[in-house]
Amino acid sequence: MLNFRNDYGAGCIPEILEEIKNNNNIVHTGYGLDEQCEKAKEVIHSKMPDNDVDIYFVQEGTQANIVMIRCALKSYEAVIAPDTGHIVRHETGAIEATGHKVIIVPNHDGKITPDEVQKTYESHMIDSEKCVLPKMVYISNCTELGTVYKREELEALHAKCQELGLYLIMDGDRMNTVLMSGVDYTLNDLPKWCDMFSIGGTKAGALFGEAVIVSNPELKPNFRYVLRQSAALIARGWLLGVQFRALFENDAFYKNAAHEIELAQQIQSFLHDNGYSLLIRSETNLVFPVLTKEQFEYLAEYVDFDVWEKRDDMLIIRLVTSWSTTQEEVDQLCTYLKKASELV
């Protein structure tokens, strides 16, 4: 069975196992105050040298979203998110469980636009305290649909947020694929646009872990209190430090992304060339072909993947490449896709 279900099914890069082994005999200070975390912060900071940021490590993605939102919002403040946003549907109400409303707006190719932010803000302010106070915009980059925010989109969104007094936070679960997708910005630009953002390790070659970057000075104080309250500090915090060091010191973080995008784009082109419709033109490691029932059934025998959506008689599936996906697996997948394309 070929695995194109997700980018966390397989394990981590070998360097990380090596580093965990090397550090396992050393006594570390607990809860993220160790040297490995310090070094990991240094190397991450070296990727955004123009910025004065605080850096933390948490176990996983929902936790990153919880701590960013919990640290920033007052009880009556809310976060605006596109309907495709991970916090909207796939975190079991974790944000609402912290007491905050998620205001949902329509996505445009998985993204949120300044116009949508403006409209939502206005419609809430008209009724003043009858509505929650919009205070934050949440975006995913790359989006849940594999699309990527362009420089000018982020600049415009940032400008709109500044104008309206909103925080902008970015869920960077698959941030590495963004940075290697051909955009004309780097990690160094993000702190200027975002008050906080996360950098995913789990899907970038680590075993687990996300970095949380806080750039807005007013959100920095007491951040470790928020982490601790959210169960986001593990005793052996050095585990996160060594993973992020290993990802960034030799740029595995970037190289893994380049590899998986290359393979995903091969698949996407192949699909296009062979008459498949696509839900959307993805720019990263996610591909969304539209299948007939027959194609779906044929493919499901040989390939493991997720169903994204059902539409009438068609099924939209999601194919995902990861750092460990091989060219051979992609070639084999294309063979199956070819045969499936001839089924109808």
Residues with Cβ within 8 Å of residue 14, at least 6 apart in sequence: none
Of 38, 2, 53, whose CA–CA distance to 194 is shortest? Answer: 53
Q: How is 143-203 classified by DSSP, letter by letter? A: -TTS----HHHHHHHHHHHHHHT-EEEEE-TTHHHHHTTT-S--GGGHHHH-SEEEEESTT
- Min dist CB 231 to its own copies, Å, is 4
Residue (30 or 182) nearer to its own copies, CB = 30
**Minimal distance in Å, beta carbon 118 to its own copies?**
14
Report residue 342 CA to chain centroid gap.
35
- By C-beta, is 52 or 96 nearer to its own copies? 96
Residue 196 CB, shortest distance to its own copies, in Å, is: 15
Residue 91: CB minimum distance to its own copies, A: 7
Residue type at position 119: K
DSSP string covering 13-58: -HHHHHHHHHHTTS---STT-SHHHHHHHHHHHTTSTT---EEEEE
Phi, psi values for residue 275, rounded to 5°: 85, 5
Could you tell me whether strands 286-287 and 314-320 are parallel, antiparallel, or unpaired per DSSP bridges?
antiparallel
Nearest residue (CB) to its own copies, 11 versus 278: 11
Which residue number, 18 or 152, has a Cβ lying nearer to its own copies?
Answer: 18
Minimum CB separation of residue 304 from its own copies in Å reads 8
**Closest separation between CB of residue 124 and its own copies, Å?**
8
**Closest by alpha carbon to 133, among 142, 124, 141?**
124
**Nearer of residues 17 and 278 to its own copies, judged by Cβ:** 17
Q: Which is nearer to its own copies, 72 or 261 (CB)?
A: 72
